[in-house]
Each structure stands twice: as C-alpha cells, then as structure tokens.
Chain A
Amino acid sequence: NAGVTQTPKFRVLKTGQSMTLLCAQDMNHEYMYWYRQDPGMGLRLIHYSVGEGTTAKGEVPDGYNVSRLKKQNFLLGLESAAPSQTSVYFCASSSPGTTLTLEQYFGPGTRLTVT
C-alpha cells in the first residue's frame, strides 16, 4: 500500500515550457486535490476532483489544468510555465461520506523551479 505517490519529485522548467505532474493513489479514494505550497502562505488549493471525470477550481487555478480520467490518478498540467509557478506541489486524496473521515492523505510533493 503506497498511499499517495507523485511523479516527478523534482523538475526544472524554462519559462514557456509545459509539463504534467502525475498523482496516483491506491486507497480507492473518491476525492483528489492539488495544492501549491509557498513560503509564508501555507498550502493553497489549485484544483480538486470529487470523482472520476469531474474537476473543479480551487483558490488559485489560473495557469493550471487538471484531468481525472481514472479514479486513481489526478494529473496537473502547466501549459506555459511562468516563474511565478515555482513552488512545491502537493497532491492529496480523501474519502467522502461520513464526517468521521474528512482526513486528506498527502503525497511527498514535487519541487518545481521555473527559470
């Protein structure tokens, strides 16, 4: 049981390049999330998904796109990278239903630098 995994762990992009970050979870969770973490700002939600084939915008969605073609995977895309997107990106997943859950399980993060 690997939990939540993220690929790649590190990446350096030049301004204008594109890339896709992959998140995978093996806990059969319905919900998945992408956050970015910047110093002094905590984690901010980029996009999230409440089920296969559905996605929604979070707090800071501009410049990012997502897809949830399979329940276990959640992809985050940057079509034209900008230096402002230099950050650490975290994926998380959780299970819906009763209020006994609500816990999100986080991946180890992807450190992205855009030069």
Chain B
Amino acid sequence: AQSVTQLDSQVPVFEEAPVELRCNYSSSVSVYLFWYVQYPNQGLQLLLKYLSGSTLVKGINGFEAEFNKSQTSFHLRKPSVHISDTAEYFCAVSDGYGNKLVFGAGTILRVKS
C-alpha cells in the first residue's frame, strides 16, 4: 500500500523568504509524484509532477520539487514566496493504476507581510 506523509501541518513564512514543504512517501512499486495547491474555497490544481527522467521538476508559479528515491522524498521549494502563495499544498503519489492518487494530509502555507 502507498502512503504519503507531509511533515508540517502549517508553515508560516515572511514574504520574499524561501520556503520548503516536506513530503515523504512509501510505496512498494514505481511511483509517480505530484504536488497540488488548493486556494481558499477552491478545488485543487496541479503545481507539478514527477513521472520519470530528471529528478528536479519545475512547476507553475516558480515552484520546484526534487525527487529523492533513496530518501523517498519529494520536497517542494520556492526561493521567494508572495502573499498570493498562501494556500494549502498537497503531496500525492500514484502507482499509475487507474491514475488513482493517495494524498498527504496537506500543509498550510501562510505568507506574512
């Protein structure tokens, strides 16, 4: 069975500071990894995904993530955050069957001015 652990439930950070949201996964098969963002009272939208190839993945809004197979991690980073990045971020894993996703509990990013 697959599982995802997001190590921080909330991350407060000041505007223009760097941020890292941590995600660890467990799976016995090949995995595909995703980060989704949810703005208040909205659905989820894809930030970025790792399917294969380069372990450094770049997404929308200046976010990037690095797949580390030995540490079973897929941490999300942004070098300089904006107030508009305030949202909840979900890490998810799929084994590809039916494209089903297993989500982590989410990390709320609060950007302060």
Write the residues of chain A forming the contact surface with B, with a CB cutoff of 8 angstroms: 4, 31, 33, 35, 40-45, 48, 50, 56, 58-59, 90, 92, 94-96, 99-104, 106-109
Contact = CB atoms under 8 A, between A and B. Distances in A.
Contacts of A101: 99
A59 B103 CA distance: 11
Instruction: Bin chain B's interface residue count.
Output: 20 to 34
Contacts of B94: 102
A94 B36 CA distance: 15
A101 to B, nearest CB: 7
B51 interface: yes
24 contacts: A33-B100, A35-B103, A40-B105, A40-B106, A42-B105, A43-B90, A43-B103, A44-B103, A45-B100, A45-B101, A45-B102, A58-B100, A90-B44, A94-B99, A96-B99, A99-B51, A100-B51, A102-B94, A103-B46, A104-B46, A106-B36, A106-B43, A107-B43, A109-B43
